[in-house]
Structure 1
């Protein structure tokens, strides 16, 4: 209760919750009965929502709220206040073994540490900033299409084969960005910028990989020469752990 005026020195408030999209609550009330609040008073409680989902299932949920407010001894003219959560909630069981829920309009950020992921993180960061202007990515949950995208960028479907440089990058591998697991991935390797990230004097430097294919800065994608690492596995675990759906963005540290 922020303030009171005149003869209204307190209000009696009750609250209950609801929702659509198949969600349910074991108890719709964060507190039983009414709470009487004067100036500076507060009432708080918890309502737990659940949305059962079969494997591969999807539900879009809106939480709903109702509050009943009256002053003692008064005749209420409009005591009911109803509103919906402005953020739509998406729950799905389409990633990993456990279902999860997200607010799709709020983009999540996965940070690739240079200290942990080295050349892979340097490749992603350079491409995200130099080629894409920080634009977010939208994740595709289909491993089938992701495999096809990898083939077009780094594999046999590319019209310009990836040239390994094990003499410069030990255990060299082709790492693409945007990821093959994003809708933005999968560009033919011929249109990619080919770069070599190298750690020199504690700083990651980005070099052109081929003199016959200069980097222009206008390429839509990048192929980085990086040592075999676990950046892709970390991204996969992140998606499964947090139950993410599209769209998603990526940031870098």
Structure 2
């Protein structure tokens, strides 16, 4: 698939003398384009629609449990601290939630805005531009003089992180609910702060502007907005969120701080999509989803199903990776769409539609393959609502395809690929998947 395609210049209906020189290696037997006698092959939907993926558990950073407080209570009392408190993550065994699995919605949709972030408690899930996590916290109050626990509370914290593809801006949507409280856990106030970690990528923000009162059953809901400073072409960084809870006459010894796992490192760049800047979660490989509407799409679906590598089929085959060098792209195209391809007079405005795409590192040209090494096919108009492909040589054991596809339909796939690279901010050598639906 490409912008500049090899197009037939022959007059409509003109006969072409085609020979077996078009065919694949000597071991393969085939017929010339337009005269193929091989049985047609049915082609249907191919590839997987992406869904949010688990990034890892929500874990407090350098957590100091409340058990570490007890041995120090005498010292706190000597320092004049009558009531001290601590925050820790509620033990997994005590967590109760109805959501025990990843969201089923496609990855192109937002996971869910907090406070209704519907993912498994204690887990992060993410897509290319969106992430969602939740954690339950326990707040404990100690009397330093009696060395006893005199109060406590439980909270549910949720955060959604949404990245912008074309502005370099990203946001968080945050919520903190006070689920229960007892004893001295009174007059509680909460602060929520999110910041960037690494290289001064952006500034910090508070979700609801300082310490806010919170009572049992109440949810504090707010958000933060951050702007990538774009000091370099690309930059990776993580986020850090700190939740601080204080009670009347009480001193919090350490807040609850969590940083998402490494899979949720954010990458911002200003080179993937023209002059725009934008950010993604690069660990989530995006999927180019095409409709099964024309012969260019059929060429992709057939190739995913029949080539030995099943290029682009997540869970079954190998990913594709982007090639950004235009000289390499043109070279790839020329090597595959060579003299082995001759226009088929039965295909209007026939063009050489190569797969894997010339703008990938998996192009047959980068593997030293030529047109004769590729499966050569003619996607035909659908019959009874189903697409049919006529193989023009032996298509078994191949790693590339050249299809006879009308120029406009060829170009539609090339345009979709180009837009996908821009919109998903796919960088050089970065992997992606395909789905034809």
What's the TM-score once normalised by structure 2's chain length? Answer: 0.51
Q: Structure 1 residue 227: deviation in Å?
A: 0.4
In the alignment, the residues of structure 2 paired with residue 50 and residue 30 of structure 1 have an alpha-carbon distance, to the nearest angstrom, of 15
Q: Structure 1 residue 228: deviation in Å?
A: 0.5
RMSD: 2.2
Residue 94 (str. 1) matches residue 271 (str. 2)? yes
In the alignment, the residues of structure 2 paired with residue 221 and residue 2 of structure 1 have an alpha-carbon distance, to the nearest angstrom, of 58
Stretches of 4+ moved more than 6 A in 1? none
Rg bigger for which structure? 2
- Equivalences for residues 97-246 of structure 1 within 5 A: 97-115=275-293, 118-131=294-307, 132-133=309-310, 134=313, 135=317, 136-155=319-338, 161-165=340-344, 167-187=345-365, 188=369, 189-201=371-383, 202-209=385-392, 213-216=393-396, 218-229=397-408, 230-245=412-427, 246=430
In the alignment, the residues of structure 1 paired with residue 335 and residue 186 of structure 2 have an alpha-carbon distance, to the nearest angstrom, of 70
Query: Do the aligned residues in 2 keep the contact of 1:148 with 1:186 (CA within 8 Å)?
Result: no
1:191–1:70 distance in 2 versus 1, CA, 3 Å:
farther
Residue 40 (str. 1) matches residue 222 (str. 2)? no
Q: Secondary structure at the match of 2:224?
A: coil
Query: Do the aligned residues in 2 keep the contact of 1:169 with 1:225 (CA within 8 Å)?
Result: yes
Show structure 2 runs of 5+ residues with no match: 1-176
In the alignment, the residues of structure 2 paired with residue 5 and residue 30 of structure 1 have an alpha-carbon distance, to the nearest angstrom, of 23
- 1:31-68 deviation digits (Å, cap 9, x = unpaired): 211122233322222222222337x8111121222221
Residue 60 (str. 1) matches residue 236 (str. 2)? yes
Q: Structure 1 residue 123: deviation in Å?
A: 0.8
1:191–1:69 distance in 2 versus 1, CA, 3 Å:
farther
Q: Structure 1 residue 9: deviation in Å?
A: 5.5
- 1:202-239 deviation digits (Å, cap 9, x = unpaired): 32101112xxx3111x2112111100122202221232
In the alignment, the residues of structure 2 paired with residue 35 and residue 194 of structure 1 have an alpha-carbon distance, to the nearest angstrom, of 67
Q: Structure 1 residue 69: deviation in Å?
A: 2.0
In the alignment, the residues of structure 2 paired with residue 144 and residue 232 of structure 1 have an alpha-carbon distance, to the nearest angstrom, of 17
1:138–1:11 distance in 2 versus 1, CA, 3 Å:
farther
Show structure 1 runs of 5+ residues with no match: none
Q: Structure 1 residue 88: deviation in Å?
A: 1.0
Question: Which piece of structure 1 moves more, 239-248 or 198-207?
Answer: 239-248
In the alignment, the residues of structure 1 paired with residue 323 and residue 420 of structure 2 have an alpha-carbon distance, to the nearest angstrom, of 14
Q: Secondary structure at the match of 1:107?
A: coil
Query: Do the aligned residues in 1 keep the contact of 2:321 with 2:432 (CA within 8 Å)?
Result: yes
In the alignment, the residues of structure 1 paired with residue 432 and residue 332 of structure 2 have an alpha-carbon distance, to the nearest angstrom, of 18
The residue that corresponds to 2:227 in the other structure is 50
In the alignment, the residues of structure 2 paired with residue 130 and residue 73 of structure 1 have an alpha-carbon distance, to the nearest angstrom, of 71
What's the TM-score once normalised by structure 1's chain length? Answer: 0.84
Q: Secondary structure at the match of 1:44?
A: strand
1:114–1:161 distance in 2 versus 1, CA, 3 Å:
same
